Amino acid sequence: MQIELRQSTSLLRVGMAPISAIFAALVLCSVLIMWAGVPVLEAYALLFKGAFGSAFALKETFTRSIPLIFTGLAVAVAFRSKFYNIGAEGQLYAGALAAVYFGTGLVSLPAYLMLPFLLLVGALAGGLLLLVPVLLKTRLKVDEVVTTLLLNFVILLVVSYLIEGPWRDPMAMGWPQTASIIDEGVLPTLMAKGRLHAGLIVAVLASILIWAVMRFTVLGYEIKAVGFNAKAAEFSGVNVNRTVIFTALISGGLAGMAGVSEVAGLKGYLTLDLSPGFGYTGVAVAMLAQLHPLAVIPAALFLSAVYVGADSMSRAVNIPTYIADVLVGVSVLAILVSVMLTQYRIKWRK
């Protein structure tokens, strides 16, 4: 078996990569559906209907995609410079902590200032949390994957302590949760019915902004240069460490905004189950988007549809909801292969 670099890659092939990966993932997971004794096409039809079949379903899918757009962007930006931030989950909670700290009455501004302010402090909190692993990486060469992963567990315990202890809402009938964000800090809903909130607009704007930064600015160019070949970038005068630190601040900030948007747009307060692993799913989103900031939006929508659809499917037929997580995991592996096939060809002859 020989692996050969292709001379050129057509845009069609790049565009087909995620589609074929998703197709492969759906085919592979159909084995599990057959095992559950449900006709495969019927199960996927139910999943599709659960995600897109009604106005309510559509709104849920879009609502769920908001944090995934943010965490997907966070991962995409970081992976572009080969900074492997797997800590979006923790940074999301850091952002949420900042939002409830400043948003539950400590600061009171008119809504048009309050919302940007909360997003800003949330982004700062997420960025600051990621500053620890990135400084450890640039100063001491400590592997960032392990530190970001371990910090996820630490932050969750900090949240657990705060909502059971000093930040617990005394009015919550003993439930471990914080007080609610003041009205000025609540992201307004977009439609009369349903939970879809203005976080979607912020997320889409963030995608466009990140795309513009990557496409048109020196920083964006440097981030990509460091990712392609850090040594070459260093030789041509890029300050690699500084670039990686900036990347980390942006990445952590985006993940932090996911936390703000979940608290201020959806829940209103902070609990331990704010995120069912949005940070980890962000890796899948970014990979499916091939790290492209604008492609993050459809990728997030797709995975959000998988989760929303799988919930509704498992209510209708007897398939555990974990099928959604399996699909996400398989898609990460499948996209790796399909992207590789856009750049290389495999020759089976020796």
Partner 1 sequence: MSDLLDILLTAGFWAATVRIVSPLIFGTLGELICERAGVLNLGIEGIMTVGAMCGWMWVYQGGDLWGGVIFAASMGALFGLLHASFTVYLGLSQHVTGIGITLFASSLSYFVYRMLLPSATTPPKIAPFQNLEIPVLSDIPLIGEALFNQSPLTYLALLCVPVVWYVLHRTPIGLAVRMAGENPVAVEAQGIDVLAVRTGAVMVGSALMAVGGAFITMSWFDAFYFGMVNGRGWICVALVIFASWKPGKALLGAFLFAGLEAMQVRAQQSAGAFIPYQFFLMLPYVMSILAMIIMARRAQYPQALLVPFRRGERV
Binding site for partner 1 (CB under 8 A): 1-3, 32, 35-36, 79, 84, 86, 136, 140-143, 145-147, 149-151, 153-154, 157-158, 160-161, 164-165, 280, 283-284, 287, 318, 320, 322-323, 325-326, 328-330, 332-333, 336-337, 340
Q: Smallest gap, in angstroms, from Cβ of residue 60 to partner 1? A: 21
Q: Looking at beta carbons only, is 32 or 249 nearer to partner 1? A: 32
- Residue written as token pair 């900090």: 158
Q: Cα dihedral sign for 291, 150, 281, 30?
A: positive
Q: Smallest gap, in angstroms, from Cβ of residue 336 to partner 1? A: 5
Q: Smallest gap, in angstroms, from Cβ of residue 236 to partner 1? A: 22
Q: Smallest gap, in angstroms, from Cβ of residue 294 to partner 1? A: 21
Q: Using only the alpha carbons of the chain, give its radius of gyration.
A: 21
**Taking Cα atoms as reference points, which of 219, 250, 224 lies closest to residue 70?**
250
Q: Looking at beta carbons only, is 115 or 151 nearer to partner 1? A: 151
Q: Smallest gap, in angstroms, from Cβ of residue 343 to partner 1? A: 11
Q: Looking at beta carbons only, is 260 or 332 nearer to partner 1? A: 332
Contact 68, 74 (CB under 8 A): no
Q: Looking at beta carbons only, is 49 or 168 nearer to partner 1? A: 168
Please, what's the b/e burial string for 316-347 (b: 16 or more CB within 10 A of its CB; e: otherwise)?
A: eeebeeebbbbbbebbbebbeebbebbeeeee
Q: Smallest gap, in angstroms, from Cβ of residue 295 to partner 1? A: 16
Q: Measure the CA–CA gap between 97 and 270, rounded to whole angstroms.
A: 7
Q: Measure the CA–CA gap between 156 and 176, rounded to whole angstroms.
A: 13
Q: Looking at beta carbons only, is 208 or 336 nearer to partner 1? A: 336
Q: What is the dihedral of CA 187, 192, 193, 194, to 10 degrees?
A: -20
Q: Looking at beta carbons only, is 136 or 240 nearer to partner 1? A: 136
Q: Smallest gap, in angstroms, from Cβ of residue 160 to partner 1? A: 5
Q: First CA to last CA across the chain, in angstroms?
A: 6
Q: Looking at beta carbons only, is 150 or 209 nearer to partner 1? A: 150
Q: What is the dihedral of CA 330, 331, 335, 337, to 10 degrees?
A: 20
